[in-house]
Amino acid sequence: IQYGDTKIDFSAPWNRYDMIEEIETRGEFSIPRPFDSDQCNQFLQERCRDLGILSNDGTYTTARLIDRLCGYFIEDKIQNPAFIINHPVIMSPLAKNHYDD
């Protein structure tokens, strides 16, 4: 399908992007674990500040910061349909722990 100047391919299989792995790969950094630590939150705030995507509303929860990085490194770069998988539990009360965690 042509959408403006962009051709979108809906054919299967759709790409799958592991959220944290993809952020770390594209950002060329490693996010400290555990995600609920102060060290992790401070690190994410610094990365978002460096990229100019730190929210102006003063909301600096780890979940919000990871979401901003996902938007910057993954969502804004996806052209064709895709799945963003393995959201950290800290991002959603409905998420389950990944079997690797």
Alpha helices, DSSP H only, in the chain?
19-27, 38-51, 62-73
Predicted confidence (pLDDT) at residue 97 exceeds the cutoff of 90 = no
Q: Which residues, at least 6 apart from 53, have a Cβ–Cβ distance to it below 8 Å? A: 68, 69, 71, 72
28, two tokens: 């060329």
Q: What is the mean pLDDT of the chain?
A: 92
- For residue 100, the model assigns a pLDDT of 66
pLDDT at 56: 85
Mean pLDDT of 71-93: 93
Residue pair 55/68 in contact by the 8 Å Cβ criterion: yes
What pLDDT is attached to residue 30? 98
**What are the helix (H) ranges across 1-56?**
19-27, 38-51
Question: Looking at residue 98, what is its pLDDT?
Answer: 67
